[in-house]
Chain A
């Protein structure tokens, strides 16, 4: 552990993969970070600033970040190429409780870039197994915003992957409609455990549908996103009720989330 937790480490960008016009995946050197799926890094570009970003995948020698160009830091990040450097500290947060998913029927309800924090989990189940059944429900706004197309196609071999878009296009072969509407098609037959990641309205709708399909509150896990400056429980921005999203989250059980009010 660095004596000063605020000092970042310089990390080289090994590869950049464009996902969409707005989204790119950066594979960066990992100085022995060993994250848990669902954790995040504080990523910075000196002079521009720092922001928390979800880890989309990792191995012993690299970390992958998948970033939408949406603000100051992510805008500057988007312009970086292979061989450039960025600065990281972390990993922070709790990550997903993988032991609670082992051997179960897992339903993932994900909105757009909400696919990012669970990608490494799905990849591991794809390679090594470990769950009884996996339903991956992913919603994007438009067909042009579909990320991880290769991975989604590959995962389809082993899992039930359903992709839906809010607004279809004439040549879109998939489903159109809200991702939360898909829940009743897959949950309910047996006791499922669910992971929900996405924007606040989607999380609410998905959780309602899961509860209607008799998924127990204890079995619903939600990853939250809040503004953060420090990532280590000091700056106060991400506090909700008595919980700090950076320390106690970003993954919370639904039993906790229902009591948290911003």
Chain B
């Protein structure tokens, strides 16, 4: 069903949802940007429409809401484990089609790869309802259309802000009553980005010989292995498990997981000194092939959703879309 709501009515609706849900959306954090005095656009909790940055692209993806940077898995005393009690509230996330596709990639790894489901992810994930944000016309580094992640039907509510009204299409029956209460009926059809300035051609088959190509040596010269691309990526799921104990009581501590990155030193280090991919270009090769080839081979869809955040945040101005296309050219020859 479609509804139109005034800004005020939408705020009332958010306020009513606020008791039962934590609401996350792209938000401007003044003074938190990379350059002094600049703003950071990232996900944060919101209470009203004016806080939601409809016209900005976030530097980080919404994955941190359901896969936190640091997550305690359990606490331990000398001989006992205790798990965290999760917050009972639901989670609403305002996000675009690419990021919904991105979360589907996280679902694939955490819930479908192998016989076990990742309980920490699942506990947060099953609380989530997607509020699909209208995305038009996209940004200059986006290439979602080439990867098919410009569209989605996986949402509870579609939201488009136009002047002083908010147009919504509501799929979720639990929420329909609220929109009925605050809005008036209207014809609303979701619109999706249909064309990006940047297009990529994802290669079909990748032979072993491409691993030695000098393309990766060039990237070794440029990439500083800072890992920003993987931190900003909506589909990177790697983590490392570590134990820590409390300074005041060394008998107690916790096991937690922390985001890890295949771009950063130590990712493959094994006890005894074996480490792989010393060259930064080889790490970029590993990441690139995972995003556009390995994942697809295993699960049928490319991992990359073309959000372009890795291009936006790279301090060396490495463009991932250009990297994909260069690889495509080499393989096409």
CB distance from B227 to the nearest CB of A (A): 13
B85 at interface by CB-CB < 8 Å: no
A227 touching B272, Cβ below 8 Å: no
Which of A226, A229, A232 is in CB contact (< 8 Å) with B257?
A229
Q: B245 — which chain A residues lie within 8 A by C-beta? A: 47
Which of B57-65, B139-147, B286-294, B314-322 lies at the interface? B286-294
Which of A95-103, A185-193, A235-243 lies at the interface? A235-243
Q: B109 — which chain A residues lie within 8 A by C-beta? A: 233-234, 236
Which of chain A's residues 220-262 have a Cβ closer than 8 Å to chain B?
225-227, 229-230, 232-237, 239, 241-242, 244, 246-247, 258-259, 261-262
CB distance from A13 to the nearest CB of B (A): 14
B270 at interface by CB-CB < 8 Å: yes
The answer for the CA separation of A235 and B119 in the assembled complex, in Å, is 13
B237 at interface by CB-CB < 8 Å: yes
Q: B295 — which chain A residues lie within 8 A by C-beta? A: 242
B238 touching A46, Cβ below 8 Å: no
A262 touching B276, Cβ below 8 Å: yes
CB distance from B81 to the nearest CB of A (A): 6
Q: A47 — which chain B residues lie within 8 A by C-beta? A: 76, 243-245, 250, 253
Which of B117, B118, B211, B268 is in CB contact (< 8 Å) with A261?
B211
Q: Is the interface of A mostly helix, strand, loop or mixed?
A: loop
Q: Is the interface of B mostly helix, strand, loop or mixed?
A: mixed
Which of B118, B119, B243, B268 is in CB contact (< 8 Å) with A227?
B268
CB distance from A115 to the nearest CB of B (A): 16
Which of A6, A72, A199, A200 is in CB contact (< 8 Å) with B119?
A6
CB distance from B33 to the nearest CB of A (A): 29
Contact A247/B113 with A70-B272, A85-B79 known, Cβ cut-off 8 Å: yes
The answer for the CA separation of A262 and B255 in the assembled complex, in Å, is 28
A199 touching B286, Cβ below 8 Å: no
CB distance from A150 to the nearest CB of B (A): 25
16 extra interface residue pairs, beta carbon distance < 8 Å, beyond A44-B255, A225-B270? A4-B119, A6-B74, A6-B119, A49-B241, A50-B255, A71-B270, A71-B271, A226-B270, A229-B241, A233-B109, A234-B114, A234-B239, A244-B113, A244-B114, A261-B211, A262-B286
Q: Which residue numbers of B lie inside 8 Å of A, CB to CB?
A: 73-74, 76, 78-79, 81, 83, 109-110, 113-120, 208, 211, 237-245, 250, 253, 255, 257, 260, 262, 267-272, 274, 276-277, 286, 289-290, 293-295, 297-298
Q: Which residue numbers of A lie inside 8 Å of B, CB to CB?
A: 1, 3-8, 10, 44, 46-51, 68, 70-74, 85, 199-200, 225-227, 229-230, 232-237, 239, 241-242, 244, 246-247, 258-259, 261-262
